[in-house]
Amino acid sequence: MSGGFVVAIDGPAGAGKSTVARRVAERLAFALVDTGSLYRAAALLASRAGVRLEDVDGVERCVVEAVDAGRMVLVSGEGGRTRVHLDGIDPGDALRTPEVSMGASAVAAYPGVRSALLAPQRAFGRTQGVVLEGRDIGTVVFPDAALKVFLTATPAARAQRRCDELRAKGVAADYGVTLAEVVQRDRQDSERAIAPLREAADAVRVDSTALGPDAVVDRIVALAEARRAR
Ligand code: DC
């Protein structure tokens, strides 16, 4: 019904992108791609291969080889949600540790990693309605997306949400440490030379600091439906 209709949801860590993107995709009956999982998988893959994450060439080679060989792929999962698989296995919560979060932010600055991950992301937008969440979807991956949303919130609100998420999974989390990580990741993600976190000129900015997920989802679905009806 919605071939090629792309909804891009970009924004900093902890703005609520994952929950919002998942619910928007469900409401629109679109596929969902969490592009951060690819960068997380890249960091995990390199560290499992014994490559130091500061070794730009080593990490780039490792990721390019894995993508080319089909060892790192995005697969359609339950309810249209895509999952990243490494060597045929979904790494699950191993992608969500604080070490992998920091590692993903580091390797996401490497040009060879970013270019290797473009094709798997774009493959999902050609034929179907899809929601992609990330940092550069509206600026680089799908600059012609039908709807671009920049979802943001204050660093304090984002750190609190990350803590709550980790604690809900039984992982101990310290607010001060989490806030420092949020600020550091923002800096790394915004200051990198290639595809930095940046709002597209034609994005709709949504601030979730004081808005619950229901209100954010309603707003994005309404925008998508209005554009689809054009
Ligand atoms: O959304 P996330 O926290 O899972 O993303 C993990 C890291 O990957 C984040 O620090 C920035 C990077 N990333 C990126 O550079 N571009 C994307 N499209 C998605 C994530």
Residue 100 clears pLDDT 90, i.e. is over it: yes
Residue 196: pLDDT band (50, 70, 90) is confident
Question: What pLDDT was estimated at residue 3?
Answer: 56
- Give the pLDDT mean for 180-201: 88
Helix pair 17-28, 213-228: axis angle to 10 deg: 40
CA nearest ligand 1 atom 1, residue: 36
Pocket test for ligand 1, best of 10, 20, 22, 39 (most atoms within 8 A of CB): 39
- Give the pLDDT mean for 215-227: 97
Question: What pLDDT was estimated at residue 65?
Answer: 98
Residue 2 clears pLDDT 70, i.e. is over it: no
Question: What pLDDT was estimated at residue 98?
Answer: 85
Q: Is 39 in the pocket of ligand 1 (CB under 6 A)?
A: yes
Percent share of the chain, pLDDT over 90: 77
Question: What pLDDT was estimated at residue 75?
Answer: 93
Q: Which ligand 1 atom sits closest to the C-alpha of 136? A: 18
Q: What is the mean pLDDT of the chain?
A: 93
Question: What pLDDT was estimated at residue 43?
Answer: 98
Residue 229: pLDDT band (50, 70, 90) is confident
Q: Is 11 in the pocket of ligand 1 (CB under 6 A)?
A: no
C-alpha–C-alpha distance, residues 134 and 122, integer Å: 13
Q: What is the pLDDT of residues 149-176, one digit of tens each?
A: 999 999 999 999 989 988 998 989 999 9
At the topology level of CATH, where does 6-228 sit? Rossmann fold (3.40.50)
The DSSP letter of residue 146 is S
Closest to 109 in 3D by CA, of 39, 18, 182, 46: 39
Question: What pLDDT was estimated at residue 128?
Answer: 84
Q: What is the pLDDT of residues 7-59, one digit of tens each?
A: 999 999 889 999 999 999 999 999 999 999 999 999 999 999 999 999 999 99
- Give the pLDDT mean for 112-121: 96
Residue 228, SS3? helix
Residue 1: pLDDT band (50, 70, 90) is very low
For the chain, report the end-to-end CA distance as a whole number of angstroms. 14
